[in-house]
Amino acid sequence: MDATISRSALRGTVRAPPSKSYTHRAILAAGYSTGATVYDPLDSADPHATARAVEAFGGDVSEVDGSLEIEGFAGVPDVPDNVVDCGNSGTTMRLVTGSAALADGITVLTGDDSLRSRPQGPLLDALSQLGGRAESTRGNGQAPLVIGGPISGGTVSIPGDVSSQYITALLMAGAVTEEGIEIDLETELKSAPYVDITLEVLAEFGVEAEPLGAGGGDVRSAGASGFRVPGNQSYEPEGGEYRVPGDFSSISYLLAAGVLAAEDGLTVRGAKPSAQGDTAIVGIVERMGGAVEWNREEGILEASKSDLSGVEVDVGDTPDLLPTIATLGAAAEGETRITNCEHVRYKETDRVSAMADELEKLGARVTEREDELVVHGGESALSGATVEGYDDHRVIMALSVAGLVAKGETTIRGAEHVDVSFPDFFDVLYDLGATIQRQ
């Protein structure tokens, strides 16, 4: 599907979609339990992949009135009857690679073309250190993966600057091993707030885990030298249930649309504080001069059209915000410098190059470096063009927001891939007043 967006004036109220990051972890945590109900889950392609994996390991996932009733495998996953297809979901593959290492036999994990190009090597090496079988069929550290267990726990050494999801996989699986797992980080941890999300979900399911050597600030995992999770634990959420919070990665596009195109204001509900690092988007937009008010207690964000100025943003802990910040920078005055972003190249696509190339098609002037993206807003004049979505939900949504303020029509190819995290994204924009055609 292609989506064509014209310059539009937005206004109205919308509810934030549930968090994809929390939904993945909650589904798998419920799978590790004897059973639990997950309320307000994100209903999209990626969490569906995690649900299929839980079923492949012997659990059962049923949708009941918008919630998920999950019968778990009680920490002892079966050997799947078939290959586990993770689709386009990197989170699914990495998290359930840890689960596969607990099964007494061989599990094969694969995914689509994009997922089969993403790095898994450090996690495979970690599982090998724990005595498991962990191989890439092509010998390149990428899926398809062959995983054999069961592992019993131990100590592993792993880099912290490739993907925090490796840490999450080991923590979630380590809780049900005999010995537990202690993780030594070989490098600085990036995306630390995502590990905080994991620690928060584990705590909600009654599982103890902790960072080692962290700085003790608002982000618990920041500066950690490692992590520890004791073994022989059980996943038991209070009352047998868990509620998924709103997704600040998705909120970022709505907030950006508000400060770029909503003269009469745009209100986002479901924006309650959590461990999500992407709540940083509120402060970033405020620093750029955006008119934003956040009632944290009520979970209500209000934004209205503003004159923005460029800023410098380090996305080491918030990689998913790069496409949104780049779009804001293209519509702002002055220079927006996005730093510490090399790891953003290893997402569904190389998002640094993707945003540089496609914003340039729209008339932005952009300088791309290995670990930095600079958007020269004062030298940019956005004008409609046909751009590629790279089958990447975050690139598609960010370019769609740019289309709201570009002259003429902006056509985004492959727009259906918003299904990964925000399935009704274009319906929401339309209801807020955007001029959109889909074909």
pLDDT at 46: 93
Report the C-alpha gap between 200 and 277 in whole angstroms: 13
Edge to edge, what strands does the sheet with 3-6 contain?
386-388, 409-413, 3-6, 435-438
Nearest Cα to Cα of residue 118 among 101, 99, 93? 93
- Ligand-binding annotation for 118, yes or no, is yes
- 68: domain CATH number is 3.65.10.10
The token pair that represents 242 in the structure block: 């868990």
Among 219, 243, 267, give the residue marking a domain's end.
Answer: 243
In this structure, the answer to whether residues 13 and 69 fall within a common structural domain is: no
In the predicted structure, residue 346 carries a pLDDT above the cut 90: no
Q: What is the rounded average pLDDT of the residues 187-216?
A: 94
- Ligand-binding annotation for 25, yes or no, is yes
Chain segment 251-295, per-residue pLDDT in tens: 999 999 999 999 999 999 999 888 898 999 999 999 999 999 999
DSSP-based three-state secondary structure for 412: strand
Q: What is the rounded average pLDDT of the residues 389-400?
A: 97
- Ligand-binding annotation for 320, yes or no, is yes
In this structure, the answer to whether residues 57 and 111 fall within a common structural domain is: yes
- Ligand-binding annotation for 116, yes or no, is no
- Ligand-binding annotation for 413, yes or no, is no
In this structure, the answer to whether residues 278 and 359 fall within a common structural domain is: yes
**Planar angle of CA 164, 16, 399, nearest 5 degrees:** 75
In this structure, the answer to whether residues 9 and 72 fall within a common structural domain is: no
Count the domains in the chain: 2
Chain segment 52-87, per-residue pLDDT in tens: 999 999 999 999 999 999 999 999 999 999 999 999
In this structure, the answer to whether residues 291 and 179 fall within a common structural domain is: no
pLDDT at 15: 92
In this structure, the answer to whether residues 87 and 206 fall within a common structural domain is: yes
In this structure, the answer to whether residues 8 and 46 fall within a common structural domain is: no
Whether 247 sits among the annotated catalytic residues: the reply is no
Q: In the 8-state DSSP scheme, what is residue 98?
A: H
pLDDT at 217: 83
| Strand 3-6 to 210-212 pairing | unpaired
In this structure, the answer to whether residues 212 and 300 fall within a common structural domain is: no
CB half-sphere exposure, 76, CA atoms < 13 A: 3
Structure confidence at residue 387 as a pLDDT band (50, 70, 90): very high
Which structural domain, as residue segments, surrounds residue 390? 3-17+246-438
Please tell me the pTM assigned to this model. Answer: 0.83
* φ and ψ at residue 348, rounded to 5 degrees: -55, -30
In this structure, the answer to whether residues 207 and 254 fall within a common structural domain is: no
Helix boundaries (H) for 334-408: 351-361, 393-403
In this structure, the answer to whether residues 146 and 266 fall within a common structural domain is: no
- Ligand-binding annotation for 347, yes or no, is yes
Q: Which helix (H) or strand (E) holds 52?
A: helix 45-56
- Ligand-binding annotation for 191, yes or no, is yes
Amino acid, single-letter form, for residue 244:
V
Report the C-alpha gap between 120 and 142 in whole angstroms: 5
Exactly one of 247, 317, 320, 392 is catalytic; which is it? 320
- Ligand-binding annotation for 21, yes or no, is yes
Q: What percent of the chain is modeled with pLDDT above 90?
A: 93
- Ligand-binding annotation for 351, yes or no, is yes
Among 223, 243, 263, give the residue marking a domain's end.
Answer: 243
Report the C-alpha gap between 60 and 62 in whole angstroms: 7
Task: For residue 401, give every residue at least 6 positions away whose Cβ sits within 8 Å of its Cβ, in sequence order, or none.
Answer: 253, 256, 257, 260, 324, 327
- Ligand-binding annotation for 44, yes or no, is no
Question: Torsion-angle region of residue 190: left (phi > 0), alpha (psi -120 to 50) or beta?
Answer: beta
Q: Are 224 and 306 in contact (CB under 8 A)?
A: no
Task: For residue 118, give every residue at least 6 positions away whose Cβ sits within 8 Å of its Cβ, in sequence order, or none.
Answer: 90, 93, 142, 143, 346, 347
Q: What is the rounded average pLDDT of the residues 121-147?
A: 98
In this structure, the answer to whether residues 193 and 275 fall within a common structural domain is: no
**3-class SS letters over 100-145:** HCCCCCEEEEECCCCHHHCCCHHHHHHHHHCCCEEEECCCCCCCCE
In this structure, the answer to whether residues 40 and 160 fall within a common structural domain is: yes
Q: Are 337 and 376 in contact (CB under 8 A)?
A: no
Structure confidence at residue 218 as a pLDDT band (50, 70, 90): confident
- Ligand-binding annotation for 437, yes or no, is no
Chain segment 224-255, per-residue pLDDT in tens: 999 999 999 999 999 999 999 999 999 999 99
Among 193, 212, 243, give the residue marking a domain's end.
Answer: 243
User: Alpha carbon of 219 to those of 113, 190, 226, 296: distances in Å?
Assistant: 34, 12, 14, 18
